[in-house]
Structure 1
């Protein structure tokens, strides 16, 4: 290697751990594919991080190092090295070659050396440069690299934007860089399958090293180990003695080589001019349209990364307006972040905040469950002299030696005044959660003008996940500090009150800062798309506090009834299991797909309906359903599965979810999950309790009315078919609904050429399957399977339907064509659903997109209508100060109330009318109602 020094001593040589980047990008959103269905998300993520790194440091020299294919010297040393790692996913492996080509075309030096890992190549180059006195910056998320740190070599983790110098290593790990190998060897590494010493974790390793130094010194002073005082120190000597050979091996495995023959001279480290023609070709292949446009316009990798590439996420799309704009990565100035410890500091900063016209607000709590969460602190961001300033106010960090903090009681009057001041506009990210938490402290937020999660969802429900980290990365080009970065992972994760304020404050302040930036970004975007802006302001944003109100109301569950059902279901499951064993002629685990495959397809030799991606016979529900028409065992298995799911999901679980403070179950409603606009609920999920199933109805019986009240359920009648009539303008459907005819009976009359009065129950059932099947884009094959008839007969039903209702066929064809042209479909109120697969070459994917195109306007319009109904009802309740009426649940097209029993007759007609007047269609919007002592009776 040449002894030339780096030409600019202030600019470090950057060594990028390409393999670390690759896996990080693969597991992070957005998960992208191009129009051919080829995965491109890892490519996009790595290139985006490299562009960001180049922009941040403007280096002259930089090398991207990847692991080479095949085993390394460590595998020869220890055959079990990394043996527990799963094979690389196919959709990641296919991205490696094009990624390498793009990096080369960008002019960035790239290498991979067989027989060693990227760590070893990086270690060798860093060591050589360090000995020359040159600065080296290693970009990685791998803790093993900390052993390379010295006065010339530092590490940067671009996900957290944290830099580790020698002091930083000691602060983070508790040991010095030169002790990192000892530290890693003692602990071992599960991910790499390095054995270490059993019973030695992070704290024990630190205790040994801080007490006795290196591993060699530990073994020279084994008798001193017991006196070190860490947990388990008295028995540690025996473990060290028993595992000395294993520890020696672990030390060798954990040591990064510093003598790799890499052949990279200093002249090969310089960043070259990009090959724009090649880059354009590669970007075009991956469908990175913005980056392609940038290259064609003459820009290079020295430009800011264009976050929000128009590569399409799998089964999603990117908004057309989004495609036309280039977004520079934001510049965050964390010097403008401040932690507020005293009342004097709070009062001083409060004057500044009160002069702001717009603030972002965010809480930090002890739990993601709003009913259990306790307030730990809060952050506020606001604009000051064209800069964004953010503060974090810790209130209840209670770890050992935590500094003194303001109490919430001290600042409640001024905080309450700030939050309730309508003249100061407030924004947040998933602000409903913050509203729920603050309600426990009698604090409310007024003047809410935006929620970035909802803005993103309205802007494009399928472009990305709508959590803040994903939005910041996609739309602002910023990698946020993640919760795991500050709280740890898995079993070792701590709650926010246990996190040091020094660590917590930048995380919390950044949350508010990024939220404010995202709000401004989305507000500008939505202002340019009037229907979406109206949807945000008139439906999604007003609905948010209403959902919070419903969540706090909760619903009453009869726990004793649930327990009794669980016991009954247990007995029934045992009976079904015995019956299955009897049919099979042997015992087997009904919950094991592998054992079930053997019984069904090898022993009983049932026909194989479908195979898994790996070629094994499928035992999926649709397969069992088809087989159950002719065979008993699949029917029993299906009944067992269904009952088992009801037991585990509801009868066992719901009693455990009753909150002691209220005696009720409190779900969480989500506005930004389902692409079509439908609400979903979790913890518990109240949307999926069956109503057409006897056991499901029995579960609904346990949702009860408190004494002196009734459960009232009001739901829309055949709302999606009514919306189909409105959208298709079909005369037959419009007439049937206008005359309040039974639509399924009317369809049966037309399809089967039978007088309306003579339609049989069986004909009506078949017509119902046709009606709902067609609005979900069902094929003749699917209809035949559902009705258990031949495909030709099913096709004749469909043909006759379209003959009698031609407007429906015209609507479907027009919708397909428009979806292909626009890339999206719309609800009646302007909500968009993007459909990237609508032009896919893969026929099944394209057909699925076409079915979604037909159904989404109906399902999405129905979702919009129930949301508008909730707003109507809530406004009536609050504006008239109505007492004795609670909304306790929203399930699909239904609202469920608790109403004082002596008020039901008075208020039920009003509530029904409010729901029926939520929207104006070409056919009547009908809401059916029921009343009872429990939810099932109310149907």
Structure 2
């Protein structure tokens, strides 16, 4: 579920001011409240919510002042030391990228209430960061309060525990108690306990008023005397939920940090920890977590001095503003065609109507052959009064010989997208030499995100024009085709220019590291057109099968719902974490073995697995969620996203997303369809081939375990693979001192768990839980394993040592994974990094091997029309093969996949064929 964090800025500032000592910087400026706010904001950023906003009171009166002229009349003026910190606070908040909302005529609470109401209606979880009791009236399932000062969270149960009333009674409670700070009149002598007692007895304020004559004593007299003013008090304490706002919830996303402004502010106010974090997250070009601690090895790599513009290419400051040309005449086009003909490297980028490359239409093209200079050629801008543009087909026909010339070196930023766009217009781009996204990804996959804006900021010290700045955002965002030409030129031409600049910053770095350069030139760049071709081909789906499966899944979900209700003893909403939390932990008394970041009992998959043996309900919920995910993600969604142009489903493959080098898939994610469940396998039955064709699936067998044998050089493990038998049975025979034929099913299962578990750093505790044995027995299994396979243990220890020494580990082919948490003070983070260090060489090498296989197979298929590579799913490649070519294609694919790496053990590939993907296994 998406999350919205709403920060009560006024509450933050006041709480920090009164909670912290009167700190000041060297110039005597007060900093205490500011210091507190900055730390709370940094904590909020670590939660990484999808949506967030910093809401503060706007200056001037509000509607409550009009209702009651004495409202807040007794509140003392803001202390001078606090007032002096308001503007710096807003400056820091804005520079951190938080959207800031200050709405005249209402209070911050009203803005928060309105956004909470809107988000809740959209199914977005809301967390309100505040210390203000008034906001408790907003609490409900999906809306909670968090106090970052005390690190406590308040949900509906928390409201009842603190105030003695339900959240829906808080308004009435506040009305009765009143507020001396805000000068809201309540019932004199009515304290919190009395208010809670009345509301428990009479249900609501209206009920209290109706029964006022039944309340005895002096408190009864006070209540009756206060009756005329209670409606006004209720109006004053009621938070508005309908404030007109320019922004919608989904507009409230974190913007990019203004690094230079933050550096200046943190330095001025002497926030050393915040400044250290900022510098660590914005390290200079070439910076690596450990690499920069070995200057003798890397002293030749210059770091850019952003202030002085020291990052140069042939005398040009790569952080300087660019000069861009809007091309709308034939003479201008001819001039650029000549420049392209003479250029050694052409940076190009497309502007389109959609981020879906298989549905998008081209709007314009940008080109650059010299850093600092670029052009934009508009092709299909369509707003009223748009100036004349060159004809789209004419421009593309003129560019086609250049784009298709393999001897003309091309450069893109995520060029696969642009290759797909050009393919719609009959242009098969060749000669892709570089991709700045992949240069960054290979140089250091974990140093930064690899989008253009992030790379420009990190490696050039350059702030790019953002799409929202030219096209707007949210509901008001326009298509790029409606952006005026001058603005479009400024944005689009910059893309080509910055792509070229990034190349000139990153390529020299890769050239200093021969193994990284080899990964880039021999694996990543050749893979780009291969993935583009797979995306363009797409996969054929039987929509009728999916619809039938969707109905069957729905029926099974209803059965599970009934079973869950029976197990719980009553009906409840299985999709509500709050209701499930109440049933599992409050009603059934099951142990809460995992907590959420806010301290609540978790109901996520891991938490339910941990208690699945304690009661039938957790397993029923897990099964229900699994079916619900299959239904929403695949059986319903796949039918909806069949491309009307091709009649196929087209996924997007991502090279720069997974640190270990694996290719990931999205929209739809074809790599997450379960293969171990019957329902998951049935979904694969909907992936079919055209008439006269079949589906072929070729899968590496136990590739990561084979890589472990190769890297460790352990004779026993290598022997098990060379002999070609059941490696898990062979391992069990070694561990338990038996002949292979004497190994029991449970012993083989234990050996398999150890074989795979060790690669992921499984502990004796984890093995015990997986096998259902005690920890001592699991420890004994592991000890026997290492005694029989000493090379594996030695490899694991050597890898950990190398990781600590170098700060990274490498795959067989030289890809590096940097592990920043190896030096973390937190033991859990450090242990996690060590587990990743052991696993990454296997997982990363497997990723490299299948990428090499894809490149080899694609080259063989290039001149054929009887087979097409459709999908890459982990260690498997899926093809569409004409029936009369099956045996030839199968043999060629198996040979090329097996030959993608030379290991000390055989690379075994199994290839099956069927009418659908499931049958091919």
TM-score, with length taken from structure 2 = 0.71
**Does 2:906 match 1:924?**
yes
Aligned to 1:118: 87
Match for 1:591 among 551, 572, 575? 575
Instruction: Determine if contact 2:438/2:524 at 8 Å carries over to the other structure.
Output: yes
Aligned to 1:286: 276
Instruction: Determine if contact 1:287/1:310 at 8 Å carries over to the other structure.
Output: no
Q: How many residues align?
A: 718
Aligned to 1:502: 486
**Does 2:324 match 1:327?**
no
Instruction: Determine if contact 2:546/2:636 at 8 Å carries over to the other structure.
Output: yes
Match for 1:776 among 751, 760, 763? 760
**Does 2:332 match 1:345?**
yes
Deviation by residue 1:311-361 (Cα, 9 ceiling, x = unmatched):
969xxx999959963213355565621101112221123223322211210
Match for 1:764 among 738, 748, 758? 748
**Does 2:463 match 1:479?**
yes
Instruction: Determine if contact 1:395/1:407 at 8 Å carries over to the other structure.
Output: yes
**Does 2:506 match 1:522?**
yes
Cα separation, partners in 2 of 1:632 and 1:406, compared to 1, 3 Å: same
Mapped to 2, the partners of 1:588 and 1:863 lie a distance apart of 44
What is the Cα deviation at residue 669 of structure 1? 0.5
Aligned to 1:301: none
What is the Cα deviation at residue 882 of structure 1? 2.0
Aligned to 1:645: 629
Instruction: Determine if contact 1:802/1:808 at 8 Å carries over to the other structure.
Output: yes
Match for 2:368 among 381, 385, 390? 381
Deviation by residue 1:109-167 (Cα, 9 ceiling, x = unmatched):
xx975288429999xxxxxxxxxxxxxxx99999999xxxxxxxxxxxxxxxxxxxxxx
Deviation by residue 1:637-687 (Cα, 9 ceiling, x = unmatched):
110010100000000100011111111101011001011000000010000
Mapped to 2, the partners of 1:187 and 1:811 lie a distance apart of 64
Cα separation, partners in 2 of 1:849 and 1:79, compared to 1, 3 Å: farther
Cα separation, partners in 2 of 1:250 and 1:535, compared to 1, 3 Å: closer
Aligned to 1:364: 351
Match for 2:439 among 455, 461, 469? 455
Alignment of 1:895-906 (within 5 A): 895-906=877-888
Q: Quick check: 487-496 or 671-680, which moved more?
A: 487-496
Mapped to 2, the partners of 1:471 and 1:799 lie a distance apart of 47
Q: Quick check: 441-450 or 647-656, which moved more?
A: 441-450
Mapped to 2, the partners of 1:278 and 1:503 lie a distance apart of 36
Mapped to 2, the partners of 1:140 and 1:797 lie a distance apart of 51
Aligned to 1:426: 410
Aligned to 1:227: none
**Does 2:829 match 1:829?**
no
What is the Cα deviation at residue 369 of structure 1? 0.4
Aligned to 1:238: none
Q: Which runs of 5+ in 2 are unaligned?
A: 1-30, 49-53, 67-79, 116-238, 247-260, 307-316
Instruction: Determine if contact 2:110/2:243 at 8 Å carries over to the other structure.
Output: no
Deviation by residue 1:86-123 (Cα, 9 ceiling, x = unmatched):
xxxxxxxxxxxxxxxxxxxxxxxxx975288429999x
Match for 1:568 among 525, 531, 552? 552
Instruction: Determine if contact 2:58/2:107 at 8 Å carries over to the other structure.
Output: no
Alignment of 1:436-451 (within 5 A): 436-451=420-435
Instruction: Determine if contact 1:306/1:327 at 8 Å carries over to the other structure.
Output: no
Q: Which runs of 5+ in 1 are unaligned?
A: 1-17, 42-66, 81-110, 123-137, 146-180, 197-245, 254-270, 292-304
Deviation by residue 1:576-622 (Cα, 9 ceiling, x = unmatched):
11111111111111111111111111111112222222222221212
Mapped to 2, the partners of 1:326 and 1:505 lie a distance apart of 31
**Does 2:476 match 1:492?**
yes
Alignment of 1:136-285 (within 5 A): 282=272
Cα separation, partners in 2 of 1:25 and 1:899, compared to 1, 3 Å: farther
Instruction: Determine if contact 1:748/1:767 at 8 Å carries over to the other structure.
Output: yes
Alignment of 1:3-18 (within 5 A): none
Instruction: Determine if contact 1:728/1:810 at 8 Å carries over to the other structure.
Output: yes
Counterpart secondary structure, 1:392: strand
Query: RMSD in angstroms over aligned alpha carbons?
Result: 4.2
Instruction: Determine if contact 2:111/2:243 at 8 Å carries over to the other structure.
Output: no
Match for 2:854 among 847, 863, 870? 870
TM-score, with length taken from structure 1 = 0.70
Aligned to 1:685: 669
Cα separation, partners in 2 of 1:730 and 1:379, compared to 1, 3 Å: same
Cα separation, partners in 2 of 1:309 and 1:39, compared to 1, 3 Å: farther
Cα separation, partners in 2 of 1:120 and 1:829, compared to 1, 3 Å: closer
Counterpart secondary structure, 2:525: helix
Deviation by residue 1:893-921 (Cα, 9 ceiling, x = unmatched):
11111111111122211211111011100
Mapped to 2, the partners of 1:116 and 1:740 lie a distance apart of 72
